[in-house]
Amino acid sequence: MFIDVPGGRLAYDSAGEGPLVVCLPGLGDTREAYRLLRPLLVEAGYRVVTMDLRGHGESSAGWDDYSQAAVGRDIVALLEALDAPGAVLLGNSYPGGAIVRAATDAPERVAGIVPIDGFIRAIPLNAALRALVRLIAASQRLWSLYYKVAHPTAKPADLAAHRARLVAMLRDRKRHEAMRAMLLNRGPDAEHVLSEVRCPALVLMGAEEPDFPDPAAEARTQASLLRGQAVVIDGAGHYPMSDHPERTAAALLPFLKNVF
């Protein structure tokens, strides 16, 4: 399914019935990032909508803005198209900030937010890490290698096939540029609106997260800024929903029950 918004078209899927949970994958990924978590949420009685980011997957390419604020507007457009009165938003990695923006832009449509290993505030990088980020942004092969490493303890059976699909997607110049633009955005524009979030928030973080020096401390800091709660998922890396979907669901479902 698709919705048209200013600047392009966004692709999404819908499964199940019940209260609405909208899931956003990380940069360089597709909505199939939630392929293992989605059935667990549907079985628990939720409608799960997964959407490709602008410039990714089946969404159109060639956008002029890849900021978290722009992705947040896409989320609001999707909620309006679905006529959703109150949804819980899940955002992995870069869209962690986008769901914050959506929650402040359209509070009447957002019942709760769940950043998953999300970038919702600027994290200083030393010179070596900045160089590594630039290398990953320039190479589909290095991105694929990072994606593998970011599943440190429990690699899904289909991980190799999923990584191959991501590499094929990023061979398209415009889609690679979308990923690169997001990856090199070192100043999340959600940070200055964190104090405006009024809905419940749950911060999920993999204990083996490779992008933060101290994942548990980062989760606590984010939860404090959002006046929410934090759960650190043992064994999980940057993609808890695919390397430990059962543990992710176990952390998420009590939050959903309380929100809805």
Quick one: what percent of the chain has pLDDT higher than 70?
95
Angle between helix 140-149 and helix 127-138 axes, rounded to 10 deg: 120
Query: Which domains, and CATH codes, for the chain?
Result: 2-259 (3.40.50.1820)
CA distance 110 to 170: 31
User: 239: pLDDT confidence band, cut at 50, 70 and 90?
Assistant: very high
Inter-residue contact 190 to 199 (CB < 8 Å):
no
User: 128: pLDDT confidence band, cut at 50, 70 and 90?
Assistant: low
- What is the structure's pLDDT at 68? 95
Over residues 143-170, the pLDDT tens digits come to: 988 999 999 999 999 999 999 999 999 9
Query: Of 183 and 162, which is predicted with more confidence?
Result: 162
Find, among 219, 224, 188, the residue nearest to 204 by Cα.
219
Half-sphere exposure of 237 (CA within 13 A, CB side): 16
User: 127: pLDDT confidence band, cut at 50, 70 and 90?
Assistant: low
**φ/ψ of residue 9, rounded to 5:** -130, 140
Quick one: what percent of the chain has pLDDT higher than 90?
83
User: 6: pLDDT confidence band, cut at 50, 70 and 90?
Assistant: very high
CA distance 86 to 68: 21
- What is the structure's pLDDT at 216? 97
Averaged pLDDT of the chain: 93
Rounded to two decimals, the pTM is 0.96
**φ/ψ of residue 47, rounded to 5:** -90, 125
**φ/ψ of residue 26, rounded to 5:** -75, 170
Task: Report the 3 state secondary structure along the chain.
Answer: CEEEECCEEEEEEEECCCCEEEEECCCCCCHHHHCCCHHHHHHCCCEEEEECCCCCCCCCCCCCCCCHHHHHHHHHHHHHHHCCCCEEEEEECCHHHHHHHHHHHCHHHEEEEEEECCCCCCCCCCHHHHHHHHHHHHCHHHHHHHHHHCCCCCCCCCHHHHHHHHHHHHCCHHHHHHHHHHHCCCCCCCHHHHHHCCCCEEEEEECCCCCCCCHHHHHHHHHHHHCCEEEEECCCCCCHHHHCHHHHHHHHHHHHHHHC
Over residues 17-42, the pLDDT tens digits come to: 999 999 999 999 999 999 999 999 99
Over residues 88-100, the pLDDT tens digits come to: 999 999 999 999 9
CA distance 48 to 88: 10
Residues in the chain: 260
Q: Answer yes or no: is pLDDT of 79 > 60.
A: yes
Q: Answer yes or no: is pLDDT of 8 > 60.
A: yes
